[in-house]
């Protein structure tokens, strides 16, 4: 986001169009809100080349392919995590025709709203692992009993053996996706999923962490503090499966540059005690 903001700042005040390659529409709208250039159009361009806009001058701006700005060092293991490549161009036009986009602004905003509503129909809860052990029939799986505020703990299987030592799971606070359909995992029925951040290569996986003071069973949401009391009812497991709600929402979940879990890098994942975080994986996928 900081690099994109710098790109926008680098455009002159007469810039009318700023083309990006490889961004989502909500990300571009967030950039526009940070810009003080009047009449600036931010356009997502998925093709390898950026077309000329009505004869306007097309000027490459910042972040060429494989720019060092696209790499962020991982302080823990000195490896580099490749972030989304952003290719930016700005145009200045004299007698330019209006630039058309594949989706109108209102359509994009409607899509963003729909994804947020879908995300808040997920029954995401604060949980606490009360017991964890190795799955007897699967080397890569742990089995956990997780308190999410119900009469009995949930049994959940998670593929964390490669990433998290067993003793670090005991009595740990976690984030649980609770309205998935139960799955039989090598003879053990799993009633939910522990949510975690992972790097692009899936070599590092880290459980999401609720803030101190969050209570097991509390529902987690995406948005502002004020939106807590206006959440939709959680969808049933059958609805989640039939409408593929998790498949729709998951690609939009990431941690930001501070490690805060977000939807589309705009809406924070929240509890009443504060935002949910990953302790060391930044700009990472969430699943």
Question: Which pLDDT value is given to residue 64?
Answer: 40
Coil, helix or strand for 108? helix
> What mean pLDDT comes out for the span 49-59?
42
Reading the block at residue 41, the tokens are 């159009």
Number of H helices, E strands in the chain: 5, 21
Residues 6+ apart with CB under 8 A from 31: 1, 4, 5, 8, 42
Mode of pairing for the β-strands spanning 267-271 and 261-263: antiparallel
Least Cα distance to 118 among 254, 234, 264, 285 occurs for 234
Least confident of 34-43, 138-147, 198-207, 264-273: 34-43
- Cα separation, 99 vs 50, whole angstroms: 12
Is pLDDT of 194 > 70? yes
Q: pLDDT for 68-112, tens place per residue?
A: 333 333 344 443 333 333 445 455 444 443 444 445 566 777 888
Question: Which pLDDT value is given to residue 181?
Answer: 96
Question: Which pLDDT value is given to residue 36?
Answer: 54
Residues 6+ apart with CB under 8 A from 8: 18, 31, 34, 35, 37, 40
For 178, 221, 273, the CA distances from 237, given in Å and listed in that order, are: 9, 18, 27
Question: Which pLDDT value is given to residue 109?
Answer: 76
Q: pLDDT for 216-268, tens place per residue?
A: 999 999 999 999 999 999 999 999 999 999 999 999 999 999 999 999 999 99
Q: Torsions phi, psi of 274, nearest 5?
A: 135, -175
Question: Which pLDDT value is given to residue 80?
Answer: 36
For 79, 93, 95, 114, 166, the CA distances from 54, given in Å and listed in that order, are: 43, 8, 8, 33, 60
Is pLDDT of 42 > 70? no
């Amino acid at each position: 986001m900081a690099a994109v903001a710098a790109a926008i700042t680098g455009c002159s005040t007469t810039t009318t169009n700023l083309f990006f390659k490889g961004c989502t529409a909500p990300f571009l709208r967030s950039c526009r809100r940070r810009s003080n250039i009047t009449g600036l159009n931010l356009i997502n361009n998925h093709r390898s080349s950026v077309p000329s806009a009505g004869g306007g001058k097309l000027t490459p701006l910042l972040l060429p392919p494989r720019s060092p700005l696209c790499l962020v060092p991982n302080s823990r293991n000195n490896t580099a995590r490749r972030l989304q490549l952003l290719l930016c161009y700005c145009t200045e036009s004299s007698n330019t025709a209006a630039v058309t986009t594949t989706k109108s602004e209102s359509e994009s905003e409607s899509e963003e709203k729909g994804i947020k509503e879908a995300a808040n129909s997920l029954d995401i809860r604060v949980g606490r692992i009360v017991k964890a052990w190795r799955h007897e029939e699967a080397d890569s799986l742990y089995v956990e009993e997780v308190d999410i505020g119900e009469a009995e703990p949930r049994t959940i299987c998670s593929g964390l053996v490669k990433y998290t030592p067993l003793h670090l799971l005991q009595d740990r606070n976690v984030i649980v996706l609770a309205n998935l359909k139960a799955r039989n995992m090598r003879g053990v029925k799993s009633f939910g999923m522990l949510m975690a951040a992972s790097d692009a290569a899936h070599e590092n996986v880290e459980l999401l962490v609720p803030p101190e003071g969050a209570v097991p069973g509390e529902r987690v949401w995406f948005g502002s503090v004020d939106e807590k009391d206006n959440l939709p009812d959680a969808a049933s497991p059958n609805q989640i499966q039939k409408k593929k709600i998790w498949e729709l929402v998951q690609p939009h979940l990431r941690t930001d540059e501070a490690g805060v879990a977000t939807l589309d890098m705009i809406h924070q994942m929240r509890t009443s005690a504060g935002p949910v975080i990953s302790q060391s994986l930044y700009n990472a996928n969430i699943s």
